[in-house]
Amino acid sequence: MTYNFDRLIERRGSNAIKWEFYPADVLPLWVADMDFPAPEPILAALRAKVEHGIFGYQSPPKKLMEVVAQRMANLYGWQVRPEMVVLTPGVISGFNLAARVTCQPGDGILIQPPVYPPFLSVPENVGLVRQYAPLTKYPDRGTQYPDRGAQVENGHSLHYEIDFAAFEAALNSGGARTRLFLLCQPHNPTGQIYSREQLTRMAEICLKNNIFICSDEIHSELLLDGAQHIPMAALSAEIAARTITLIAPSKTFNVAGLHCAFAIIPDADLRQRYKKEAGRLTLHLSSLGLAAAQAAFSGECDGWLAALLLYLTANRDALVDFVAKNLPGIRTTLPEATYLAWLDCNDLLKSGRISSSPYEFFLKKAKVALNDGATFGPGGEGFVRLNFGCPRATLMQALERMKAALEAV
């Protein structure tokens, strides 16, 4: 079957935050949803619910938990029992709930900036001490990937590494005992995937210090160039017993507005505490979200997903190539996963070519809406995040606008 990801679909007038937050003359490449319709098996499942016509209270379907468990086995060889799967309205709800279950007010939570902005809100939401273990930025890794199709010259690419000395130094900092490590992998905004060795080292540090791990793996199926994802909890039974893994179909299959996600919690006591707190906070889900999630993870959408990943990889390569050739003063990551690029514009600021934040510059001068890197925490200043999960014509139009804006200064 063929899929047309080049088709332009009008989203204004649909209450889409991405398209209606800014004026109509602005191209939005910011909030992380894609401009592609969900695959047909999901649409068929939703039509069936609508045609039935009754939307009364619904209990969590046992079949859905079985489908989630089977998908983990199929994708990673990770043996998850259906009873380990807990429903949550979304991954953001999921990691805030994880913090409430594993921490007491005044405890520490370890975060690796720059990172998805809702991570940074958890300490205030739960009354915790924020403990930063910043990722370290390095240039020029792109030249080590000649098989990726994106021919990147020296100076135009960057990547990040875990600074394990900083990681350990952040433990119990700020006068608070670290109780939870909040991990984002694949990483948002850098798009990188952590290796088995990196995951194991982080996990071992946490086990040694009696720290729980909450691993946000929402982008784990958005893998570019055949990259491989390893769930943190799949490393060992000992690590799994201290880990809450969060997944959802929302990013992969573009159903974020249906609000259905899953926490996989192998440890029975931790799982019971999590479920009890979710009930106390009355975190319910919609029947349409449940139906969409079951169709998404059933395997029926995997042909669509394979085609999507090829298209996103080509979008990434077109973006990286354009930045290298046409946007001097900007460097970009080479995402291994997600549909998000992380653009370093600090050289533009240092040279004086732009004086405002790059987010404001491109919004005002190019009429392109990106995410402001400063909202991703320390290390995000002077960056923007760009969503390339859109038809290529939209992506290239936005890049041409950015090029023209820079040429005019």
**According to the 3-state scheme, what is the secondary structure of 108-139?**
EEEECCCCCHHHHHHHHHHCCEEEECCCEEEE
* Residue ranges of domains in the chain: 17-40+302-407, 62-297
Identify the DSSP state of 143: G
- Looking at residue 1, what is its pLDDT? 83
Cα–Cα nearest to 285, from 47, 55, 125:
55
Q: Which two tokens stand for residue 71?
A: 């998908």
- Looking at residue 216, what is its pLDDT? 98
The pTM score is: 0.95
- Topology of the domain covering 17-40+302-407: Aspartate Aminotransferase, domain 1 (3.90.1150)
- DSSP for 293-350 reads HHHHHTSTTHHHHHHHHHHHHHHHHHHHHHHHHH-TT-EEE--SBSSEEEEE-HHHHH
pLDDT, tens digit only, all 409 positions of the chain: 899 999 999 999 999 999 999 999 999 999 999 999 999 999 999 999 999 999 999 888 899 999 999 999 999 999 999 999 999 999 999 999 999 999 999 999 999 999 999 999 999 999 999 999 999 998 754 444 433 444 444 456 898 999 999 999 999 999 999 999 999 999 999 999 999 999 999 999 999 999 999 999 999 999 999 999 999 999 999 999 999 999 999 999 999 999 999 999 999 999 999 999 999 999 999 999 999 999 999 999 999 999 999 999 999 999 999 999 999 999 999 999 999 999 999 999 999 999 999 999 999 999 999 999 999 999 999 999 999 999 999 999 999 999 999 999 9
- Looking at residue 140, what is its pLDDT? 57
- Looking at residue 59, what is its pLDDT? 87
Q: What 3-state DSSP class applies to 384?
A: strand
- Looking at residue 81, what is its pLDDT? 98
- Looking at residue 151, what is its pLDDT? 43
Q: Does domain 62-297 have CATH number 3.40.640.10?
A: yes
Cα-only R_g, the chain: 21
